[in-house]
Amino acid sequence: MSHVIRSDDPTRMSTPFWPRPPERYPGQLPEQADVLVIGGGITGVSLMHHLRVRGIDAVLVERNHLAAGASGRNAGFLLAGVADCYSEAVRIFGRSRARDIWNMTMENHAEEIEAVAGQEIGHRRKGSVILAASERETERLAESAQLMTEDGFDCTWDGSRLTNPGDGEVTPSLLVGAFARLAPAGSVREGVEVTGIQAGKGMQGRVRDPRHQRLHAPAPAPGSDPAKAGADAGVKAGGDPAG
């Protein structure tokens, strides 16, 4: 029996699929921080980890709760590469760049899991299978298998499906919670909605929330576009930061 989730707006799901992390991190916008991370999804908490191990003072703010956005809704697949198959990636990026991307994503898979070792995140590494849906896709996957083998990546091709044994999966919200637990006390703060980013003088900037609190922090790099920096961070006036 199959179950279909229907919504009046297919682009939006009001409730995350995965249970939220059990911990609560209530807080307010800090007065100052070297780095402010906006959004408590896997990208934000993973970034917090990498900043921490480099000795950088950072604070993460999330307007709702951790894993309230895409990280509470996605399938949790840990797949090497990009959305396109390897042969298409080679055509788009070039052979060397495609190979680097695949290596980077595989290394990232291992490093992220190692960083939260000892915590339950639902990690399984049983591989993935890509099925060919057309003759053209069969040709592309066959070419991908040949190129990947030549470039040292483990895969198998049986004429209709490409198997990548190194791929895996996690429960996304558990991984978010695991990274959050690694953060220093007080550096993760839920219930803080960012509504604007303003560049200041020199290397200083300001971040606003609905209560008009302001954080002084390093601004975008000289010569960069503050508006674009805000857009890249998923922030705008009255905006919807990614979670």
Tell which wins on pLDDT, 221 or 15.
Answer: 15
d(CA 127, CA 125): 6
34 vs 1, more confident: 34
Between 230 and 113, name the one with better pLDDT: 113
User: What is the C-alpha radius of gyration for the chain, rounded to an integer number of angstroms?
Assistant: 21
Q: Where are the alpha helices (DSSP H) in 9-134?
A: 42-53, 86-93, 95-115
Helices 172-182 & 95-115, crossing angle to 10 degrees? 70
Residue 233's pLDDT is what?
A: 39
In a domain? residue 238: no
In a domain, 240, yes or no: no
Kindly indicate the confidence band of residue 18, based on its pLDDT and cuts at 50, 70 and 90.
Answer: very high
132 and 101 in a single domain? The answer is yes
Task: Please report whether residue 12 resides in a domain.
Answer: no
Stated as kind and residue range, the H or E segment containing 23 is none
In terms of domains, do 102 and 162 share one?
A: yes
Residue-range definition of the domain harbouring residue 113 = 77-168
Predicted confidence (pLDDT) at residue 2 exceeds the cutoff of 80: no
Domain count, the chain: 2
8-state DSSP, 140 = H
16 assigned to some structural domain: no
pLDDT of residue 65 exceeding 60: yes
- The C-alpha atoms of residue 145 and residue 203 are separated, in whole angstroms, by 48
Is 109 inside any structural domain?
A: yes
Reported confidence tier of residue 206, pLDDT bands at 50, 70, 90: confident
